[in-house]
Structure 1
Amino acid sequence: MSAPSFDRRSVLRLAGASGLVVAGGAVLGGATALNGAATPAHAPSGRRPRYRRAVWSQQLQRGHGWTAAGAGTASSDLGDSADLARGNQSVRVTTDGSGRQSYVRRTGMTGLDLTGRMIRLTFRVEDTTRLARLAFYVGTDSFANHFVWQFHTHSATAANYVQSGEWVTVHLQWADVTSAAGTCSIGPTGVPSTKAGFTDMSFAVYDNAGGPVTYWLRAVELVPDTTSVFPKGVVSVTFDDSHGSVHDLARPVMDPYGFPGTSYNIADAIGAGGSLTIGRMRSLQDHSGWEMAGHAYATSAHAAGYGALTAQQVDDDFRRMREWLVSNGFTSEHFAYPHGAFGKTKDGVPVDLLAARHFTTARSIISETTESFAPAMPYRLKALTGITDGNGIGGTVLSRLTSAGGRLDRCATNGDWLILCLHRVVAGRPRSSTEISQSGLAALMKAISDRHIPVATVGEVIEYHTSRAPRRAASVPAPGYRGTA
């Protein structure tokens, strides 16, 4: 028998006095019932970013003016009302299984100004096993001139931001524009030739030529982008797995700039072998402004990955991790998934829904686009991982960030929330994609400082958009700040 399917309401559907009932009648224990759902002993404080109101919106309701076509389209319904996220209809399209482009688009609109704005898409793919990729176009003259964001390429093995049967929200920023044509172009540092005057938009879907894909487009909107709070973007430097080198080798490089980091920790590993100790974690937090966050409670859960565990086991690992952080004086409410994966548990419950019961955000290692502020989906934070200055060992080559037109230039000139995921820092030459040398890390920190990009922990960034009114990030250390060496 196949595992049951769960949406974002069904995880909170059934509760008993001893805990939350999920797949197969399992009870997630260790809490008392509150408003029909079990409440963890340490629930998130509610600092999740507020929903950003659109400054321009196409809800695809009656008379929306969008069309569905393309060589890869088999059928469409421009007013489907069978599956809704909001409003009373959406556009439904089924591809023909040929791998050719299928699209929902509109041309000839009044010119749109995308300066200081990002595109927010809300859509759903019924079965992603036959999905190849997704792209979005903005342009003029029936797309003779256009920019393209290829924002999702589906993987059969790695974690995917787009999951089957879910309504997904994606933000597209200028820092992530992929290509251009006609009179539109991208400069050497990633700056587009124009950000205004667009009359055409297109949401494009490609199946993998292995069969048809059905998808729904619910809304295309413009919302204020990351630059409205962080004018030059913002970087969060994160470290996974509690390696002792975070304290011994990373901290001495980052302290002179006043740059804090976020350490995602495995509780079982603390104090063992070459790992961080509680004392060093407290020193990082209390004296250098670092954030001590969660990565897993049990080393066995981290090694297996949450997809190999039941919902009850995953919820218990989340709960124990959060309780461990609180009991040891660590204030972070943020988490990074083991192996970056937030799919379903082995009994069919979405891991990111369980994360939301205990933490305020959860980070993946998906990097097909860069994270935005505020994030589109706080429990699927994107991060660039495997950053290394080694040769021929895989990962993300350091120059991809530091060279002209690289990720740091795009962050500084177009704005985004660039979350970097590192693991072990080594004194000598890196030997795997999870290692970066201390000199390589120093070059990275200097490159960030030289571009005057602020550095903040994940928790600090999230806090900037949880107050009643949006505000600019005035309390992040000034660009180029140097502490005492």
Structure 2
Amino acid sequence: MSRRSALRLAGKGALLTAGGALLTVPAQPATAGAGAGEMSVTGGQLAEGLTTPSFAPTGRRPKYRRATWSQQFQAQHGWTPAGAGTASSDVNDTASFVRGTQSVRVTTNGTGKQSYVRKVGLPAMDLTGKMIRLVFRVTDVAHLAKLDFYAGSGSLANHFVWQFHAHSKTSANYVQSGEWVTVHLQWADIAGASGAYSISPSGVPSTRTGITDLSFAAYDDSAGQVTYHLQAVELVPDTSSVFPNGAVSITFDDSHKSIHDLARPAMDAHGYSGTVYNIADAIGTKDFLTIDQMRSMQDTSGWEMAGHSYATATHTASYPKLTAQQADDDFRRLREWLVSNGFTSEHFAYPHGAFQKTSDGVPVDLLASRHFSTARSIISETIESYAPAMPYRLKALTGINDGAGIGGTQLSKVTGLGGKLDRCAKNGDWLILCMHKIVEGAPASSTEISRKGFDAMMKEIDARGIPVVTVAEAMQYYT
């Protein structure tokens, strides 16, 4: 039996160990009834026939960061719902909450104008070394346009604003219907300033102290109403408490051979290690990594070999196009394949960044959590943090390229004055970069970056003294 043929047995009750020996594991029934060891999802989302994974994640979830200041919107909280875009509100809504016994409920009026929940005149707060944690829910996102948050003074005459969610009609969204969502807002993510407040050319806010006013703002798309619940506004220690100069993770999707041939030498020169999210089916085929290259990168350069999908067809379709059974089976086979080949990573990246519900209504990120310790998206409305707000929706900046007229994120937005690297180093955040293919000449698509451009980016990271960590290394700080 060939090595690749033996590996195919991974989904049929057998694994090939790193030493080449076959190891038998219990078979996974594809269509079992709901019984012992199987998973069912409450709230009308039933996932039948999903037995216990062969290799469940061993990494613990990130340590929960205790708030140093907290408003949880219980009785007599004193915050005011209002704004030209508000139709109705309930400051003590006992019908929907995730903490305590109530939350604040607001419904917009369908005009596209600002609706908010606000408190001004709080005792002055020092937000140095702090990030803002929001816990909220949008009942139905069909008409959601965006969500902002303001922090300032003088009844918000002076303020900073974070534009932390712009809703997409086509791409995966961090905020989805009916879910309680947690978001972290760091100083590196400030989108604008007004009044006496300003942001320096290198992305540093003019002050982080004397904050007395806070406001959560929502906008509908002018075509329909949106109902949202606000459960918590809190301050927690930010990433700078762990990495004062921020941290960068350099990640690659799809297992392209150029990662080994072009990216690895450039990173070796600086002692950097990256994370590769691999498609098992592609390994050993034309223009993709081989098993030996993957092992060499892991064992001699400290790289992390993580998962992206087992089947190429799954990667092409993306998990939300599958049933829960099909998606879970691909997750299981992928994890078995990684383990059987001696790759220790328990981390995953969604193909096309898609973690919405499967075709039969099960959240893909819930399925991912059965097999992996984290899962990365390609959402970058805000940059990731330690600890992540939602470890199965890790945020990452993708499409980084130095081409012309091909879309994506221009390299200068990362390396230039006040760009992502400056903000990372000067404010402290966890910047996860997502790339695909390195090319010798000019890139032809937003999934490519030239060798010259990639080398330049590595030098810019080094020049700022930002530590580079794999995703696994980052998560070890909280396990």
Same fold (TM over 0.5): yes
Give yes or no for contact 1:133–1:153 (8 Å, CA) kept in 2. Answer: yes
- Could you tell me which residue of structure 2 aligns to residue 197 of structure 1? 210
2:387 corresponds to which of 360, 374, 380: 374
1:364 equivalenced with 2:377 (yes/no): yes
Flag the 1:392–1:452 CA change in 2: closer, same or farther, 3 A. same
1:336 equivalenced with 2:355 (yes/no): no
Give yes or no for contact 1:388–1:437 (8 Å, CA) kept in 2. Answer: yes
Separation in 2, partners of 1:132, 1:220 = 21
Deviations 1:46-65 (A, max 9, x none): 33211110000001111111
TM-score, normalised relative to structure 1: 0.90
Separation in 1, partners of 2:48, 2:110 = 41
Name the amino acid aligned to 1:449: D
1:121 corresponds to which of 95, 119, 134: 134
Q: How does 1:278-297 map to 2 (within 5 A)?
A: 278-297=291-310
Identity %: 69
- Could you tell me which residue of structure 2 aligns to residue 347 of structure 1? 360
Separation in 2, partners of 1:382, 1:231 = 20
- Could you tell me which residue of structure 1 aligns to residue 431 of structure 2? 418
Flag the 1:404–1:26 CA change in 2: closer, same or farther, 3 A. closer
1:28 equivalenced with 2:41 (yes/no): no
Give yes or no for contact 1:28–1:315 (8 Å, CA) kept in 2. Answer: no
Separation in 1, partners of 2:170, 2:45 = 26
Separation in 1, partners of 2:108, 2:404 = 42
SS in 2 for 1:112: coil
Name the amino acid aligned to 1:185: S
How far off its partner does 1:16 sit? Answer: 1.2
Separation in 1, partners of 2:306, 2:375 = 10
Give yes or no for contact 2:45–2:361 (8 Å, CA) kept in 1. Answer: no
- Could you tell me which residue of structure 2 aligns to residue 456 of structure 1? 469
- Could you tell me which residue of structure 1 aligns to residue 276 of structure 2? 263
How far off its partner does 1:24 sit? Answer: 8.3
How far off its partner does 1:193 sit? Answer: 0.4
How far off its partner does 1:28 sit? Answer: 3.3
1:447 corresponds to which of 457, 460, 466: 460
Give yes or no for contact 2:130–2:235 (8 Å, CA) kept in 1. Answer: yes
For these two proteins, the number of residue pairs brought into alignment is: 445
- Could you tell me which residue of structure 1 aligns to residue 402 of structure 2? 389
1:17 corresponds to which of 13, 36, 40: 36
Give yes or no for contact 1:47–1:463 (8 Å, CA) kept in 2. Answer: no
1:44 equivalenced with 2:66 (yes/no): no
1:226 equivalenced with 2:239 (yes/no): yes
Give yes or no for contact 2:45–2:362 (8 Å, CA) kept in 1. Answer: no
SS in 2 for 1:206: strand
Separation in 1, partners of 2:202, 2:46 = 54
How far off its partner does 1:40 sit? Answer: 1.1
How far off its partner does 1:19 sit? Answer: 3.3
Q: How does 1:45-444 map to 2 (within 5 A)?
A: 45-444=58-457
SS in 2 for 1:114: coil
- Could you tell me which residue of structure 2 aligns to residue 6 of structure 1? none
TM-score, normalised relative to structure 2: 0.91
Name the amino acid aligned to 1:28: G
SS in 1 for 2:298: helix
Give yes or no for contact 2:193–2:199 (8 Å, CA) kept in 1. Answer: yes
Separation in 1, partners of 2:402, 2:461 = 16
Give yes or no for contact 2:47–2:362 (8 Å, CA) kept in 1. Answer: no
Give yes or no for contact 1:19–1:28 (8 Å, CA) kept in 2. Answer: yes
Unaligned runs of 5+ in 1: 1-13, 32-38, 467-485
How far off its partner does 1:21 sit? Answer: 4.4
Deviations 1:139-169 (A, max 9, x none): 1110110000011000000110000000000
SS in 2 for 1:28: coil
How far off its partner does 1:15 sit? Answer: 4.1
Unaligned runs of 5+ in 2: 1-32
How far off its partner does 1:25 sit? Answer: 6.3
Separation in 2, partners of 1:18, 1:146 = 52
